[in-house]
Amino acid sequence: MGRDTIAEIITSIRNADMDKKETVRITSTNITENIVKILLQEGFIENVRKHRENNKYFLVSTLRHKRTRKGIHKTILKRISRPGLRIYSNYQRIPKILGGMGIAILSTSQGIMTDREARLKRIGGEMLCHIYIC
């Protein structure tokens, strides 16, 4: 049985965020690199660098902790489509996360992209995950 690398990314980022750690180490694959690049563009991650250890590549990401007067906000990452149940959506039915405050990451025929990009290009795909800050 194969590994669910997307669930591993989400779990490691969620655990590091709850533990208020500065960095997260993620195994590097094409899918993980694309997802981390989206998280970097959207501002959920501050910095990413590629690290090699024992002929394996890892992505070391620096997390961004949102602080306000009320305290630190939590980053909510939720896996939507999983190996046992794939969830697909056309571009008209892609949900807006918190009215546009969060993002949904989709795997489309033109690569991995956010919900906004998919709506602009008018393509649908597999709903990988939702990310928002509360």
Give the residue among 130, 12, 21, 133 at the shortest CA–CA distance from 74: 133
Fold classification of 5-133 is Ribosomal Protein S8; Chain: A, domain 1 (3.30.1370)
Q: With cut-offs at 50, 70 and 90, classify the pLDDT of residue 9.
A: very high
116-121, Cβ contacts within 8 angstroms, sequence gap of 24 or more: 118/91, 118/94, 119/91, 119/94, 121/91
Predicted confidence (pLDDT) per residue in 17-46, tens digit: 888 888 999 999 999 999 999 999 998 899
**Sequence-ordered list of residues with C-beta below 8 angstroms from that of 98, at least 6 positions apart, any chain:** 132
* Chain CA centroid to CA 73, Å: 17
pTM over 0.85: yes
Domain spans of the chain, in order of start = 5-133
Which residue would you say has higher pLDDT here, 67 or 129? 129
